Amino acid sequence: MRTMLKRLGGAALIVGFVFAPLSAEAGRGLYSKQGSDYSYDYEYSYKIQISDREDDGHGVRVEYKMTKGGESRHLYNYNGVNTSKYESLNTFPRAHRAIEILNNRPDAYGDWMYPT
């Protein structure tokens, strides 16, 4: 029984060493994608970006939350395919996600990204 527990403990330790660098790599400069549209937080400056990369006639927006306060903020881009909008921030966002604005249907949401 003790040998089995030692093996399990050793395996857990090895798994911890192997996967620890993956979580540390998250950082900043993350993309949230919804199809080909995306939101992006800049790695070396306090900016948020929303880019429309689909020729589908739908606008896009980025929903983001700042590190202080929990309210959602939005930046919209209705300029069409292959365009981007940027907004300067006073610090990096706590979370952001890309959203495709769909007419007469629920919007399509990308995954939340959590810059650190």
Extract the residue ranges of the chain whose pLDDT is less than 70: 1-26
Question: Does 85 reside within a domain?
Answer: yes
The residues near 78 (Cβ < 8 Å, ≥ 6 apart) are 59
Residue 10: inside a domain, yes or no? no
Residue 1 carries which DSSP code?
A: -
Domain that holds residue 44: 27-109
| Residue spans of alpha helices (H) in the chain | 2-24
How many domains in the chain? Answer: 1
Q: What is the pLDDT of residue 68?
A: 83
Query: What predicted TM-score, i.e. pTM, was given to this entire model?
Result: 0.76
Does residue 3 form part of some domain?
no
Task: Determine the pLDDT at residue 69.
Answer: 80
